[in-house]
Amino acid sequence: MVNTPASRLILASDSPRRMKLLAQLGLPFEVVPADVTELEAPDADPREMVRHNAALKADWVAARHTDATVIGADTTVFIDRTVLNKPRDLAEARVMLRMLRGRTHTVFTGLAVRRQSDGLKLDAEVASEVTFKAFDDDTLELYLSRVHTLDKAGGYAIQQHGELIVAGHTGSLTNIVGLPLDEIKQLLTKAGLRR
């Protein structure tokens, strides 16, 4: 760690998954959720959308904590030229899971690292692919009974009972969960927080 006030690290998200992943890096950090309205249009370009939302969150928190290095992140699921964000209810989660079953989709995460004190602005975007099993409706209902899906893009969590619905994935697993750690390490190294 660099011995400056800018070594204070904030995660601009109260996602339990992102907090757990970031903790794996062994750096102390605070959590300050951003009070912003995210872009969530189903016809948005997924890469632009996650980058926009990640920057929106990081900028909002960094403006209020000017001495800190702030991480913003946003994740979405993309299939059939459609963005699948967090389902509004179980009925929408069912629609999403039926759309994804038996097929491969892309998970995009946008990352933004901001620091007001020296004008630091770093951005990245990561993509992974997930292939779902061709599961039946009974399996779908079993999955929904075991996993709270309403706070998860695409209506699922690969790390929770993924064996029921996921056939495999390519690319970063931590990206699919919500915070790609290899890319976060690289950004924090550029920001002077890791050696």
pLDDT in tens, 7-58: 799 999 999 999 999 999 999 999 999 999 998 888 999 999 999 999 999 9
Length in residues, the chain: 195
Q: What amino acid occupies position 190? A: K
Asked, for residue 195, whether it belongs to a domain, the answer is no
pLDDT of residue 146: 96
Q: How many domains does the chain have?
A: 1
Higher pLDDT, 68 or 41: 68
Percent of the chain with pLDDT over 70: 96
Does residue 46 sit in helix, strand or coil? helix
Asked, for residue 106, whether it belongs to a domain, the answer is yes
Over range 91-109, report the average pLDDT. Answer: 97
pLDDT of residue 6: 47
Residues spanned by the domain of 34: 5-190
Asked, for residue 114, whether it belongs to a domain, the answer is yes
- Active-site residue identified among 74, 118, 137, 138: 74
Q: Where are the alpha helices (DSSP H) in the chain?
A: 16-23, 46-64, 90-100, 137-146, 173-177, 181-190
Asked, for residue 118, whether it belongs to a domain, the answer is yes
Task: Check whether 195 has a pLDDT greater than 80.
Answer: no
Give the CATH number of the domain where residue 54 resides.
Answer: 3.90.950.10
pLDDT of residue 42: 86
How far apart are the C-alpha atoms of 70 and 35, rounded to whole Å?
A: 14
Task: Check whether 194 has a pLDDT greater than 80.
Answer: no
Asked, for residue 133, whether it belongs to a domain, the answer is yes
How far apart are the C-alpha atoms of 90 and 150, rounded to whole Å?
A: 7
pLDDT in tens, 144-161: 999 999 989 999 999 999
Q: Does residue 74 have an active-site annotation?
A: yes
